[in-house]
């Protein structure tokens, strides 16, 4: 009888080794197939608009089973479900549970905002010697595209896929004169979700007449999960050494000021709640910051860490600015989906407010033959 040692040292037959190799190959193919079928785009009815148009809810699922949900009304991000440090998944964005909330006046939860996000002073600007009057919907000013901005329109949708991403390309045509703007503007907003839990947004547009364009997404985040309380303990870093001072109507004064020695200095890490009480005029953060580095290049714009859940969010953008808003007007009512003040925050990448009336700001002017293009990414992760 052979000893146990000699038995173990006996060579494996070539045919058996070949079988092991084949089994390993088939197993790896099975895993690849499993990942492939997990990456998918699903659609389901989501009710109807007030004029009877059918709204569709799209679910983007990556290879890790994490999801982004969007609707074609307003090109709105309804939810983003990502894991915490223990692997528990939850939605980290504020929003409504049905179409009804989005059809009413709401805080732009998750919306694609345009033609011009943020404010334009007194709802007017001059272009090529002609004065244009826009819809006024924020005191004396024009805000987020007016009374019927892009957040209140139905977008056409096309699915986009690659080996590592699933996504949706939303498109619409804004006719000449809509909300007072000149030019027929054709725009697209492409949202893609990859296997690294990165949501990429690419805006593009063209016009047949000179006009102004400034697009953003208005998602509200709470990395502990929606409806989990205030965001005071979220740790925020902004690579932004300057910000835009504003007047009482939230219109920029025209200069760029240093954040040093102010509650707006997030060049090193601070919690959102650490100095928020100092901002009495605005009841919190509602400020446009200048993103350091060259506009037009994708570069870091923000980093957020939630110590409670371990979730993180990294923001990169080609845009010149980023608006930090701490949900100062959320009041807990049904119109706000029950969210209360400071229970979510926004990091809206954008051009500067009132740029059409501020000659020293990066231009938002788009002319025929030019292409408007901006990209922003939100990458979710965890720290242990």
Active site residue 373: no
User: Which residues touch 144 (CB under 8 Å, ≥6 apart)?
Assistant: 108, 113, 116, 117, 118, 137, 151, 218
Distance CA 41, CA 184 (A): 31
Contact present, 188 and 169 (Cβ < 8 Å): yes
Q: Is the dihedral of CA 367, 368, 369, 374 positive or negative?
A: positive
Of 291, 342, 354, residue with least CA distance to 318: 291
Phi, psi of 32 (to 5 degrees): -60, -40
Q: Of 227, 202, 216, 185, nearest to 74 (Cα)?
A: 216
| 177 CB-contact burial (10 Å; exposed 0-12 / middle 13-18 / buried 19+) | exposed
Catalytic residue among 142, 144, 212, 218: 218
Q: Whole-angstrom Cα distance, residue 254 to residue 251?
A: 9
Angle at Cα 329 formed by Cα 250 and Cα 150, nearest 5°? 70
Rg over alpha carbons for the chain, rounded to the nearest Å, is: 24
Q: How close are the terminal C-alpha atoms of the chain, in Å? A: 54
270 is catalytic: no
Query: Active-site residue numbers?
Result: 218, 348
């Amino acid at each position: 009888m052979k000893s146990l040692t000699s038995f173990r040292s006996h060579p494996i037959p070539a045919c058996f080794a070949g079988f092991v190799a084949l089994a390993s190959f088939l197993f790896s193919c099975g895993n690849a197939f499993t990942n492939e079928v997990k990456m998918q785009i699903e659609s389901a009815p989501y009710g109807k608009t007030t004029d009877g148009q059918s709204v569709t809810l799209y679910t983007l699922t990556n290879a890790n089973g994490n999801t982004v949900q969007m609707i074609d009304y307003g090109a709105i991000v309804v939810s983003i479900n990502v894991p915490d440090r223990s692997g528990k998944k939850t939605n980290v964005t504020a929003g409504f549970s049905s179409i009804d909330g989005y059809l009413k006046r709401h805080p732009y939860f998750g919306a694609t905002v345009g033609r011009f996000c943020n404010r334009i002073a007194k709802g007017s600007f001059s272009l090529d010697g002609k004065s244009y009057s826009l819809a006024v919907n924020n005191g004396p000013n024009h805000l987020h595209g007016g009374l019927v901005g892009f957040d209140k329109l139905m977008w056409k949708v096309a699915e986009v896929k690659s080996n590592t991403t699933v996504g949706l390309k939303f498109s619409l045509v804004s006719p000449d004169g809509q909300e007072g703007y000149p030019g027929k503007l054709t725009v697209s907003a492409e949202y893609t979700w990859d296997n690294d839990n990165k949501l990429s947004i690419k805006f593009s547009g063209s016009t047949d007449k000179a006009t102004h364009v400034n697009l953003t997404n208005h998602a509200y985040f709470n990395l502990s999960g929606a409806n989990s309380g205030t965001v005071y303990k979220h740790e925020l870093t902004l690579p932004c050494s300057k910000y835009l001072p504003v007047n009482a109507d939230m219109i920029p004064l025209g200069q760029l000021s240093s954040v040093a020695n102010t509650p707006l200095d997030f060049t090193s890490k601070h919690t959102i709640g650490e100095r928020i009480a100092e901002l009495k005029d605005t009841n919190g953060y509602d400020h446009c910051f200048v993103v350091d580095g060259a506009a037009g290049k994708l570069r870091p714009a923000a980093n957020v860490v939630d110590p409670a859940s371990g979730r993180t969010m990294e923001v990169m953008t080609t845009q010149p600015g980023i608006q930090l808003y701490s949900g100062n007007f959320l009041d807990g009512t049904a119109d706000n989906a029950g969210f209360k003040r400071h229970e979510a925050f926004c990091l809206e990448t954008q051009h500067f407010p009132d740029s059409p009336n501020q000659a020293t700001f990066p231009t938002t002017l788009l002319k025929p033959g030019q292409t408007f293009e901006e990209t922003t990414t939100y990458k979710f992760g965890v720290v242990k």
